[in-house]
């Protein structure tokens, strides 16, 4: 199970360590729930994905996975830009020192303010709707891509497929072609095309098919409009393992395949070799993050044993949204025999607030620390204050040092929102 945890994770003297610090000392110092990010894992994954696209290509972090200034800054140091999809995400990226070509701006409902911010940044924008062509020209945008939806239904949860027919994202091919020609007519520099098939993809099938269709569409654009896509942005979507039973191919291998498939498909269509952009979110930061929870109530019922922790759907709503499955390690009792099958419940007023349906732990005790791996992406980013619960803190660990990268909210923070 340690392979689900970040690279620096190890068990020493029966205790889980992350970045050279025991989970117990991190919990003691920063409180729980706590999301612990491993710097070594973040940097290693950033370097590997960067290498996968090669010198000409670019990697933009899908900021939505965890918008955080320290993480964005660290990834920038590794040569990674940011895909931002709102004024807020753009502000995080700017605060981290990203600008202009280090950014790519998304959104299926961008407003004028976001487009003029993008224009001021001279950041490329991915057009997602026909109406945006005029807005983009009015905002004074220079460089755009057009997001095309090629009708590929990826094998992932229905809430996170995006490239299917009828998707709220992107434009079907005929409309996308019109957006390209309208953009050119309005003097926009249309750099290329964008696709994003879905998230937590279990394999390369849907992406491979999308890339093949993308090359065919790019050839149509060349034949009918005399315009060639020089950039292909293949979005994000590479999955990660959250659970020992999950079998997901390595993101770096998939990224390499995506780049190779795009080049080969464009060459086969006699199109110039495209510059490939990728926008990984989950696969960049997911495995780097571990959430530490403190066990409170334990209820033994004939049907099952509930172990309640001090967080739940407010800090990680993925089990409710996508039927996500997690596992856990008893962090300070990591070498004790695990023979008690339990369910880990959150603390919220919903029966559906179950973090883990089944996990085998050493007989749980109040005060135990549970470490839930692969929780670096779409957890804090999707968190809420349900039940008036303040959001957890996040720390970055490395070589025995921990740095707070997001402070814990307080009840006063929540009250401060009330006029």
Considering the rule CB under 6 A, would residue 237 count as an interface residue with ligand PLP? yes
Q: How far is CA 6 from CA 45, 137, 159, in A?
A: 11, 44, 27
Considering the rule CB under 6 A, would residue 196 count as an interface residue with ligand PLP? yes
d(CA 144, CA 314): 36
Cα angle 371, 375, 379; round to 5: 125
Considering the rule CB under 6 A, would residue 67 count as an interface residue with ligand PLP? no
**Nearest CB to ligand PLP, comparing residues 281 and 311:** 281
Considering the rule CB under 6 A, would residue 281 count as an interface residue with ligand PLP? yes
Of positions 236, 364, 373, 392, contacts ligand PLP by CB under 6 A:
236
Q: Considering only residues 103 through 162, tell me which ones interact with ligand PLP, judged by CB under 6 A.
A: 106
**Nearest CB to ligand PLP, comparing residues 64 and 177:** 64
Considering the rule CB under 6 A, would residue 102 count as an interface residue with ligand PLP? no
Strands (E), 85-230: 103-105, 125-127, 143-147, 189-194
3-state DSSP assignment of residue 145:
strand
Which pairing describes strands 15-18 and 21-22: parallel, antiparallel, or unpaired? antiparallel
Of positions 15, 39, 78, 83, contacts ligand PLP by CB under 6 A:
83
d(CA 134, CA 42): 39
Considering the rule CB under 6 A, would residue 333 count as an interface residue with ligand PLP? no
3-state DSSP assignment of residue 172:
coil
Considering the rule CB under 6 A, would residue 283 count as an interface residue with ligand PLP? yes
Q: How far is CA 310 from CA 28, 92, 238, 342, 363, in A?
A: 14, 28, 30, 16, 18
Least separation in angstroms between residue 322's CB and ligand PLP is 11
Considering the rule CB under 6 A, would residue 318 count as an interface residue with ligand PLP? no
Least separation in angstroms between residue 136's CB and ligand PLP is 17
**Nearest CB to ligand PLP, comparing residues 235 and 312:** 235
Contacts of 242 (CB under 8 A, 6+ apart): 4, 286, 324, 325, 326, 327, 373, 374, 375
Contact yes or no for 376/9 (Cβ under 8 A):
no
234-242, 260-268, 339-347, 388-396 -> range binding ligand PLP (CB under 6 A): 234-242
Cα angle 337, 6, 88; round to 5: 130
**Nearest CB to ligand PLP, comparing residues 157 and 408:** 157
**Nearest CB to ligand PLP, comparing residues 196 and 242:** 196
29-37, 38-46, 274-282, 302-310 -> range binding ligand PLP (CB under 6 A): 274-282
Considering the rule CB under 6 A, would residue 279 count as an interface residue with ligand PLP? yes
60-68, 116-124, 269-277, 330-338 -> range binding ligand PLP (CB under 6 A): 60-68
How many residues make contact with ligand PLP (CB under 6 A)? Answer: 16
3-state DSSP assignment of residue 182:
helix
Told to judge if 349 belongs to the known catalytic residues of this protein, a careful annotator would answer yes
Name the percent of the chain in helix, strand, coil, to the closest 5.
Answer: 35, 25, 40
Cα 222 to chain centroid, rounded: 33
Number of Cβ within 10 Å of residue 332's Cβ equals 18
Of positions 33, 57, 62, 173, contacts ligand PLP by CB under 6 A:
62
Cis peptide before 33 (omega within 30 of 0): yes
Of positions 81, 192, 235, 346, contacts ligand PLP by CB under 6 A:
235
18-26, 35-43, 281-289, 381-389 -> range binding ligand PLP (CB under 6 A): 281-289
- Among residues 349, 415, 416, 417, the one annotated as catalytic is 349
Least separation in angstroms between residue 279's CB and ligand PLP is 4
d(CA 337, CA 364): 11
Considering the rule CB under 6 A, would residue 280 count as an interface residue with ligand PLP? yes
Considering the rule CB under 6 A, would residue 81 count as an interface residue with ligand PLP? no
Contact yes or no for 175/233 (Cβ under 8 A):
no
Least separation in angstroms between residue 372's CB and ligand PLP is 18
**Nearest CB to ligand PLP, comparing residues 16 and 52:** 52
Cα 352 to chain centroid, rounded: 24
Least separation in angstroms between residue 306's CB and ligand PLP is 31
Q: Which residues are annotated as catalytic?
A: 349
Q: Which residues of this protein are in contact with ligand PLP, per CB under 6 A?
A: 62, 64-65, 83, 106, 196, 199, 235-238, 279-283
């Amino acid at each position: 199970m340690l392979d689900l945890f970040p690279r620096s994770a190890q068990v020493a003297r029966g205790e889980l360590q992350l970045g050279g610090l025991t989970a117990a000392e991190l919990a003691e110092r920063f409180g729980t729930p706590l999301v612990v990010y491993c710097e070594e894992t973040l940097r290693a994954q950033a370097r590997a994905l960067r290498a996968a696209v090669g010198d000409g290509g670019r990697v933009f972090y899908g900021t939505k996975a965890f918008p955080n200034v320290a993480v964005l800054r660290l990834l920038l140091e590794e040569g990674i830009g940011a895909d931002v999809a709102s004024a807020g995400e753009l502000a995080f990226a700017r605060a981290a020192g990203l600008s202009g070509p280090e950014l790519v701006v998304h959104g299926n409902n961008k407003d004028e303010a976001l487009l003029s911010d993008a224009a001021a940044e001279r950041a490329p924008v991915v057009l997602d709707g026909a109406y945006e062509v005029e807005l983009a020209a009015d905002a004074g945008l220079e460089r755009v891509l057009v997001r095309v939806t090629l009708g590929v239904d990826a094998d992932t949860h229905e809430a996170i497929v995006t490239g299917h027919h009828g998707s709220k994202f992107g434009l079907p091919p005929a409309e996308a072609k019109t957006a390209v020609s309208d953009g050119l007519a309005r003097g926009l520099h249309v750099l290329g095309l964008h696709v994003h098939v879905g998230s937590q993809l279990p394999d390369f099938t849907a992406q491979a098919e999308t890339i093949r269709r993308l090359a065919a569409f790019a050839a149509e654009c060349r034949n009918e409009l005399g315009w060639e896509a020089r950039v292909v942005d293949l979005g994000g979507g590479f999955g990660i393992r959250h659970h020992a039973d999950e079998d997901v191919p390595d993101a770096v291998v998939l990224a390499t395949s995506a780049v190779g498939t795009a080049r080969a498909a464009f060459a086969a269509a006699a199109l110039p070799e495209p510059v490939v952009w990728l926008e990984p979110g989950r696969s960049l930061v997911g495995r780097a993050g571990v959430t530490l929870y403190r066990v409170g109530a334990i209820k033994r019922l004939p049907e099952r044993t509930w172990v309640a922790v001090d967080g739940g759907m407010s800090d990680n709503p993925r089990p409710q949204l996508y039927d996500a499955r997690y596992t856990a390690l008893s962090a300070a009792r990591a070498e004790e025999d695990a023979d008690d099958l339990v369910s880990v419940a959150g603390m919220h007023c919903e029966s559906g607030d179950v973090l883990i349906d089944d996990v085998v732990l050493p007989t749980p005790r109040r005060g135990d620390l549970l470490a839930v791996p692969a929780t670096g992406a779409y957890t804090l980013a999707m968190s809420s204050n349900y039940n008036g619960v303040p959001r957890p803190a996040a720390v970055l660990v490395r070589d025995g040092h921990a740095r707070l990268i997001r402070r814990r909210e307080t009840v006063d923070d929540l009250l401060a929102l009330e006029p």
